[in-house]
Structure 1
Amino acid sequence: MSKVLSLGELALKTAAERRKGRKVVHCHGVFDLLHVGHIRHFERAKSLGHTLVVTVTPDRFVNKGPHRPAFHEGLRAEAVAALACVDHVAVNAWPDAVQTIKLLRPSIYMKGSDYRSMKDDVTGGIRREKRAVESGGGKLVFTDEVVFSSSSLINRHLPAFTPELAKFFEGFTRRHGVASVLGWLEDAKRLSLLAVGEAIVDEYAFCEAIGKSSKEPTLVVKGSEAELFAGGILAVANNAASICRKVSMLAMIGRTKPRLDFIRRKLLPSVRPLWAWRSDGPTILKRRYVESYHFTKLLEVYEIQDAATLPKDEAAWVRLIAREAPRHQATLVVDYGHGMLGEKAIKALRAKAEYLIVNAQSNAGNIGYHTIDRYGKVDLACMAENELRMERRDRRGDLRGLLESLCRERGWPRAICTRGKTGSLAYERGRGFSAVPAFAGVIKDRVGAGDAFLSVAGPLVAAGAPLEVAQFLGNAAGAQAVATVGHRQSLDRATLIKHTESLLK
């Protein structure tokens, strides 16, 4: 009989064992690469009871970065079941073991010694699991066997990255180290941040291609379902809330169709919203028609009012900026070029912000009309490569030369240029350049990658982190963003930490 069971079947087994008066020991984890540390852990666990059951984290909840797990959940369960000391195995149904413990009610819940210091568990999962096992009359026990790291072994012996990328990680770890990188994340947590920009609702209208119209050269599709996401500055604020303790958001909302109920539902509770009302238009909606099977975007339609801003609206926004910017240690502006930030608003930002971070995005609605030069001197400028080249009117020139000369002319102390699959390049006056490659594993959708990068890198630089560290963590955030559809998931601090640890072990 197979040792690998469904979770329901495993619950029946453990209930039968309890009725017989037998002691059930439960182990739980990813077990991505089975090694001698795991084997000793299981053997020690079995020695403390009669029946050893193991649950394996399902693929969708492995939070060690888009390149993990290295092995599918079924293979991981099969590998654990092959051990003689293990009696039963199941793939878990939840992100952690709390509900599983309540279902199985083990006498002992076993964890490795690396979980003994509960304050170092960034997810808080071990505390919740301790409460769960004790509520069922069991206890949490730690093993003291030899400790190995699956992440370290996988990175060394089953690399998911190119040799060039592996070499970068090795050098980066020597220069900074995991503890130092996570220390900068902790410093950024104390930062108060004001995010400023247009609220955008992103709609994905999924459809199936039928074929060509018989009367005209037109693609015909059959609509299926639609999904709405909180995009624009809404996504930036939600992401930044995983980095900073205090995030306020000044967002442009349209009076004629506010969509405010949806926006409020999607905003994280830790984000303090401030509304900049536009009287003559709707809250911006960008509808993308997406062919479901290949996830191919066919067409994009804007619902937008992009005429000049009414003076009374701009005056109200300027007053909000003047009031709120000085109350925050850093102001992060993402200017999507859809009319919110005119000359008066920009002047207020420059005058009132303690630390000003700016991205002036080039998109289909503003290309050729909207560049960062409107902002003059800022503390940190962030732009995509195409935006930098447009700013310099140079399609093929050396990127480092373009970035350095722009910083020198504008008086910027530092700037970051994001380059998609190539990574990011940064320049800082007196320190020179730092280049960090991209390390996205799974790419589902590129929408939101730049916003995710800026949401993390901007606050880190404002908190004093080296540019290379900010780029690294920004790239990690971008890798997480492209692994999901649209803004379906905001960044999670614990996942970012786990991803960082996984990459640098």
Structure 2
Amino acid sequence: MSVEDKIQSIEEIGQALSNRGNRRVVHCHGEFDLLHFGHTRYFKAAKRLGDILVVTLTPDRFIAKGPGRPVFNENQRAEAIANLEFVDYVGINQWPTALETLEIIRPNIYAKGNEYLKKKDVTGRLDQEKAKIESLGGQMAFTDDIVFSSSKLLNNHFDVFSEAAKPFLAELSQTTKATDLLALVDKIKGLKILVLGDFELAEQCLVEGGHAKLRRAFIQPSGALLGLITLKEFCELVDFLSVSTEDQSLIGPLIPASVFADLIVEPGLNYPTRRSYFDQATGFKRFSARHQTPFTPDPKVEEKILAKLEKKLGDYDLVLAFDNNGGVLSPKVRAKLGQKAKFLALLLGQPKAELAHQALADYVKVDYLAGAQRLFAKDAERWAKGAGGFKSGPALSLSDKQGGLTQIGKNGAKSLAPLVADSPQNLPIDWLSASFALAAPLKALGVHEDGVLLLCQAIGTLARQAASQPYGLEKMLFDKFVIALLNR
């Protein structure tokens, strides 16, 4: 069979194997990004277990191994494996795991490398795959041969990280285990959390001859909404309080099903709008601008919000406020949160420093503060020490100059984590929203390990990607990402 004929869709492979007769089918599945000697030994050992060897690949969109990964795209990886004479079929998976593929191919043996016997299965995926293959009448087998790690080889010998990130990751990998960091994340599962914040409308307009025509309008998965997308994978008890227009059709599908959302209708509300303009002929983006039409808040709506907070605020272990200057977080609501919340985490998303300072003054007490460094670069250390009447805990900020996450402790001490998975030019406040959503519960539990900064970077990158993907953010991808970053 030619290389081209070996590479088929999962469905085509399943159809071809439906007439296997007495021949035993062995199935290997993985990313195989940087095909190496260990992989070929693994495939050969698997082939000896049966008659037909099928290798399926994780598609590019589900590989969460850090910046620059995969190094080789799914078609390149498939072609490389198909060139091995002892491989009979190669397919590119369509899902995050092999569970659906097992159902279609129905192998007699699902073969894994012997490294899976030695390391802890933090994702729980191996147990799921074992249960699936056994339910189909097959069995899982482990090959016994030499083991290499593609991630370790790529991390150490390929230029996938920035120069600033390399020593940071190298040092952290010597002192910190990925499994220990992920165990910290598991601690936040039982926290009861309240999230407050507003929605942002996104509009895409086509420009032709000096005239703009609206092409599409949708709610942007940013701010508080991106925080919910992040939290739903790690916490079981998350509530959301916000204001909305009477038409909630754009909002409903975006709120995770596990989140209880209390949306209060605000008459005359105008969502902040980020409008992007695209050239009609070429489709290229020309520019974007943020608009917010002033409106007069209804005092009755504010009274409803205050009444709800007065009644239930004490039930929450943690409150996350995504403050973008308006909507649900009025001055009175801010003051109520500062006075009554057991632990208040605040993300300031205002576009100007003076607006951020004004908002912060309304809260008085903040236990954990986050925001772009340009908003409070001069005051963050002073606030962290409790000066100016602000009893603030450590502040997490986005560093404009160095391109990383800066954490300022109560004593004013700084720690900096260089960016490992994005460039500074591509980091909007939305990236910090996801990072903040994970950092805040950890801070509420008193976790201050340096590795938290790495966790925040990982979740920020994945949440931004997941917000625009149908499968959303999955904890399994996050776990794999963290493990890959420290695999050196």
Q: 1:229 Cα deviation (Å)?
A: 3.5
1:131-142 → structure 2 map (5 Å cutoff): 131-142=131-142
Structure 1 stretch 24-33 or stretch 147-156: which is displaced more?
147-156
Partner of 2:319: 331
- 1:53 counterpart SS class: strand
Rate the CA distance shift 1:468–1:276 in 2: closer, same or farther, 3 A: farther
**Identity %, equivalent residues:** 29
Partners of 1:298 and 1:248 in 2: how far apart?
A: 35
Give the conservation status (yes or no) of the 8 Å contact 2:197–2:241: yes
Q: Secondary structure at the match of 1:262?
A: coil
Structure 2 residue aligned with 1:288: 275
345-354 vs 362-371, which deviates more?
Answer: 362-371
Distance in 2 of aligned mates of 1:484 and 1:439 = 18
How is 1:463-478 mapped onto 2 (pairs within 5 angstroms)?
463-466=445-448, 468-478=450-460
**Alpha carbons of 1:37 and 1:324: their partners in 2 closer, same or farther (altered >3 Å)?**
farther
TM-score, structure 2 length as denominator? Answer: 0.88
Alignment partner, residue 253 of structure 2? 265
* C-alpha deviation, 1:332, in angstroms: 0.9
Encode CA deviations 1:261-296: one digit per residue, 9 max, x unaligned.
Answer: 332222112112123443x32362524224276763
Return the offset for 1:119.
Answer: 7.6
Alpha-carbon contact 1:358-1:382 (below 8 Å) kept: yes
Shift of 1:152: 1.2
The two structures have a TM-score, normalised by structure 1, of 0.85
1:157 aligned residue: 157
8 A Cα contact 1:25 1:45, kept in partner = yes
2: CA distance between counterparts of 1:487 and 1:347?
37
Deviation of 1:230 (Å): 4.2
Moved more, 238-247 or 27-36: 238-247
Say which is worse superposed, 38-47 or 64-73, in terms of deviation.
64-73
- Secondary structure at the residue paired with 2:451? helix
2:376 corresponds to 1:416: no
Q: Which amino acid aligns with 1:346?
A: R
After TM superposition, give the deviation of residue 436 of structure 1 in Å: 0.9
- Equivalent AA in structure 2 for residue 404 of structure 1: E
Counterpart amino acid of residue 110 in structure 1: A
- Once the two structures are overlaid, the 10-residue window that deviates more, 346-355 or 460-469, is 460-469
The answer for the alignment partner of 2:7 in structure 1 is 5
AA aligned to 2:483 is: E
Question: For 1:247, which of 199, 214, 238 is the aligned residue?
Answer: 238
Shifted more, 135-144 versus 165-174: the winner is: 135-144
How far has the Cα of 1:224 moved from its partner? 4.4
Q: Aligned residue for 1:44? A: 45
Q: 1:455 to 1:107 in 2, by over 3 A?
A: same
SS in 1 for 2:53: strand
1:451 aligns with 2:433: yes
Work out whether 1:440 is the aligned partner of 2:440: no
* CA distance in structure 2 between the partners assigned to 1:440 and 1:496 by the alignment: 13
Distance (whole Å) between structure 1 residues aligned to residue 64 and residue 13 of structure 2: 25
Query: Cα offset for 1:328?
Result: 1.3
Q: CA deviation at 1:373?
A: 2.9
CA distance in 1, matches of 2:430, 2:93: 30
- 1:176-195 equivalent positions in 2, closer than 5 A: 176-195=176-195
Q: What is the letter of the counterpart of residue 289 of structure 1?
A: S
* CA distance in structure 2 between the partners assigned to 1:483 and 1:85 by the alignment: 37
Which residue of 2 is the match for residue 72 of structure 1? 73
Which range is displaced more, 32-41 or 325-334?
32-41
Q: Aligned partners of 2:293 and 2:450: how far apart in 1?
A: 37
Q: How does 1:65-464 map to 2 (within 5 A)?
A: 65-116=66-117, 120-122=121-123, 124-198=124-198, 200-205=199-204, 207=206, 209-210=207-208, 213=209, 219-221=210-212, 224-253=215-244, 257-278=245-266, 280-282=267-269, 284=271, 286-291=273-278, 296=285, 298-300=287-289, 302=291, 304-307=293-296, 309-363=297-351, 367=355, 370-389=358-377, 392=378, 402-408=379-385, 409=387, 410-419=390-399, 422-430=403-411, 432-441=413-422, 446=428, 448-464=430-446
* Equivalent pair of 2:185/2:442 in contact (CA under 8 Å): yes
Gapped regions of structure 1 (runs ≥ 5): 214-218, 393-401
1:488 & 1:52 partners in 2: Cα distance? 31
Q: Would the alpha carbon gap of residues 73 and 170 (structure 1) be closer, same or farther in structure 2, given more than 3 Å must change?
A: same
> Could you tell me which residue of structure 2 aligns to residue 395 of structure 1?
none
> Is contact 1:231-1:487 (8 Å) kept?
no
Question: How far apart are 1:155 and its partner, in Å?
Answer: 0.4
Cα distance in 1, alignment partners of residues 426 and 411 from structure 2: 39
Per the alignment, do residues 6 and 456 of structure 1 end up closer, same or farther by CA in structure 2, a change over 3 Å counting?
same
Cα 1:76–1:417 shift into 2, 3 Å: same
Question: Per-residue deviation at 1:116?
Answer: 4.7
Superposed displacement of residue 365, structure 1: 12
Shift of 1:424: 1.4
Pick which of 23-32 and 446-455 moved more: 446-455
Q: CA 1:133/1:27 → structure 2, altered by over 3 Å: closer, same or farther?
A: same
Cα distance, 1:184 vs. partner?
1.2
The letter of the residue matching 1:291 is: F
Secondary structure of 2:249's counterpart equals helix
Contact 2:205 2:212 in 1 (8 A): no
Partner of 1:448, secondary structure, is helix
CA distance in 2, matches of 1:119, 1:175: 19
CA 269–172 in structure 1, closer or farther in 2 if over 3 Å, else same: same
Decide whether the 8 Å contact of 1:243 with 1:459 is kept in 2: no
Deviation at 1:377, TM superposition (A): 2.7
Q: Deviations over 1:175-209 (max 9, x none)?
A: 433122112111122322111122x14324253x5
CA distance in 1, matches of 2:356, 2:341: 27
Once the 2 structures are TM-superposed, how far is the Cα of residue 297 of structure 1 from its aligned partner?
A: 6.0
Aligned length: 477
